[in-house]
C-alpha cells in the first residue's frame, strides 16, 4: 500500500470517528464502563490480598536463645538466621527488653521481685511467605545456640491464613477472568453493532475494487483510537474513584485498621493493563466486526 493511501486511510479512520459520533461515543462509554467495573473489582481484590499479607506479617516467629550464651554471643547468631531463605526481618530482643515488653502487658498480674534473668534473649522473626513456616522453623532450630523446641511458630494460624489467601486468590481470579470475558464480549459486540450500520459502506468499497486491507485500515485506526480513549478515560475514572473511596475509608476507619494500597503503587500496572486490554479490544473488535463483510 502506498504512503499516499496509508495517510488517506489513517485520516479516514479519524474522520469516521467524528462522522459516526454516536456510535463512537457508545463504544468509548462501553469500554470505559467495562474497565471501571473490572478495575474496581481488581482493586478490591488487591486490597484484600494486601490486608491478608499485612496480617500474615504480624504472625511472627520467636527463636529463643540458649540461656548459657551471653548477649553478644546471642546477637552473633543473627547473620545465620538472616541467611535462611524466606526470612523477611530479624529483630534481636534482649532479656531487659523482653521483660519490659512482658511487664507492659501483664504487670498487674505479676508479683513483685521478677527480674530479667527469667527471660531469655530472643529473635523476633517475620517471614516472606508463611506457607513455608514449618520448614523455616526447622531451619532456625538447626542453628547451634537455638536448638529444637526453642522456636515458637503458630503453624495453625499460618495454615489458616494460607487457606484464606488461597480461597481469596481463586475467587478473585475466577471473578476477574469472568468479568474480563464478559467485558470483552460486551465491548466487541458494541463495536460490531457500530460496524453493522456501515455494512453498506463496506459493500460499496468492495464494489469499486477496494482490497480488504484498504477497507480494514480505517476501521483499525478507528478501533485503536476509540480503544485508547476508552482505556485512558476508564483509567482516569477508576483512579479518581479509588482515590475518593480510599480517602473516605481511611478517614472512617483509620490507617492502622485498614491500610489501603496507595494508588501510586498500582497506577502503572493498572494503566498498562487498561490500555493493553482496551487497545486489543478496539483493534481486534473492529477487525472481527468487519470480517463477515469482507468475504466476497
Partner 1 sequence: MIQMKKVKVVYRSSDTVALDGVSMSIDEGEFVFLVGPSGSGKTTIMKLLTGEIRADAGQIVVNDFDMRHIKVRKLPKMRRTLGVVFQDFRLIDNMSVYDNVAFAMRVTGARNKKIKQRVPEVLALVGLEGREKRMPKELSGGEQQRVAIARALVNNPRMIVADEPTGNLDPVRSLELMLLLEKINEDTGTTILVVTHEKELVNALNKRVIYISEGHVLSDRKGGYFDETEQ
91 φ, ψ to 5°? -125, 125
Residue 178 is a binding residue for partner 1 (CB under 8 A): no
The total number of residues shown for the chain amounts to: 296
Residue 217 is a binding residue for partner 1 (CB under 8 A): no
With helix as H, strand as E and coil as C, how does 45-75 read? HHHHHHHHHHHHHHCCEEEECCCCCCHHHHH
Residues near 120 by beta carbon (within 8 Å), at least 6 away in sequence: 64, 65, 67, 95, 98
Residue 1 is a binding residue for partner 1 (CB under 8 A): yes
Task: Indicate which single residue of 5, 70, 189, 265 sits in contact with partner 1 (rule: CB under 8 A).
Answer: 5
- Rounded to 10 degrees, the C-alpha dihedral 268/274/278/279 comes to 20
Minimum separation from the CB atom of position 200 to partner 1 (A): 7
Minimum separation from the CB atom of position 281 to partner 1 (A): 25
Minimum separation from the CB atom of position 294 to partner 1 (A): 9
Nearest to 85 by CA among 28, 136, 25, 159: 136
Task: Indicate which single residue of 93, 205, 225, 229 sits in contact with partner 1 (rule: CB under 8 A).
Answer: 205
The residue range among 94-102, 128-136, 167-175, 204-212 that interacts with partner 1, by the rule CB under 8 A, is 204-212
Measured between alpha carbons, how far is residue 250 from residues 90, 128, 169, 257 in Å?
Answer: 30, 26, 24, 8
Task: Indicate which single residue of 71, 73, 82, 201 sits in contact with partner 1 (rule: CB under 8 A).
Answer: 201
Residue 292 is a binding residue for partner 1 (CB under 8 A): no
Residue position matching grid coordinates 530479667: 116
Residue 5: count other Cβ atoms within 10 Å of its Cβ: 13
The residue range among 98-106, 157-165, 173-181, 195-203 that interacts with partner 1, by the rule CB under 8 A, is 195-203
The residue range among 2-10, 24-32, 91-99, 253-261 that interacts with partner 1, by the rule CB under 8 A, is 2-10
Contact residues toward partner 1 (CB under 8 A) are 1-2, 4-5, 8, 19, 200-201, 203-212, 214, 296
Amino acid at each position: 500500500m502506498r504512503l499516499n493511501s496509508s495517510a488517506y486511510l489513517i485520516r479516514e479512520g479519524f474522520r469516521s470517528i467524528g462522522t459516526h459520533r454516536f456510535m463512537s461515543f457508545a463504544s468509548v462509554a462501553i469500554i470505559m464502563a467495562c474497565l471501571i467495573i473490572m478495575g474496581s473489582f481488581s482493586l478490591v481484590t488487591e486490597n484484600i490480598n494486601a490486608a491478608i499479607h499485612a496480617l500474615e506479617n504480624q504472625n511472627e516467629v520467636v527463636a529463643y536463645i540458649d540461656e548459657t550464651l551471653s548477649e553478644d554471643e546471642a546477637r552473633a547468631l543473627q547473620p545465620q538466621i538472616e541467611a535462611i531463605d524466606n526470612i523477611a526481618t530479624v529483630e534481636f530482643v534482649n532479656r531487659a527488653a523482653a521483660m519490659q515488653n512482658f511487664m507492659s502487658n501483664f504487670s498487674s498480674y505479676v508479683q513483685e521481685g521478677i527480674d530479667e534473668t527469667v527471660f531469655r534473649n530472643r529473635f523476633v522473626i517475620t517471614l516472606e511467605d508463611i506457607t513455608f513456616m514449618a520448614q523455616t522453623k526447622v531451619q532456625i532450630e538447626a542453628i547451634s545456640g537455638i536448638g529444637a523446641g526453642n522456636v515458637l511458630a503458630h503453624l495453625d494460624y499460618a495454615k489458616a491464613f494460607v487457606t484464606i489467601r488461597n480461597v481469596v486468590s481463586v475467587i478473585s481470579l475466577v471473578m476477574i477472568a469472568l468479568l474480563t470475558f464478559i467485558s470483552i464480549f460486551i465491548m466487541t459486540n458494541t463495536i460490531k453493532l457500530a460496524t453493522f450500520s456501515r455494512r453498506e459502506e463496506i459493500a460499496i468499497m468492495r464494489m469499486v475494487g477496494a482490497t480488504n486491507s484498504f477497507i480494514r485500515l480505517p476501521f483499525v485506526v478507528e478501533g485503536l483510537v476509540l480503544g485508547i480513549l476508552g482505556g485512558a478515560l476508564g483509567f482516569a475514572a477508576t483512579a479518581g474513584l479509588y482515590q475518593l473511596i480510599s480517602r473516605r475509608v481511611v478517614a472512617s476507619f483509620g490507617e492502622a485498621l485498614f491500610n489501603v494500597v496507595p494508588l501510586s503503587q498500582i497506577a502503572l500496572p493498572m494503566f498498562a493493563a487498561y490500555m493493553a486490554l482496551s487497545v486489543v479490544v478496539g483493534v481486534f473488535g473492529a477487525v472481527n466486526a468487519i470480517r463477515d463483510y469482507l468475504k466476497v
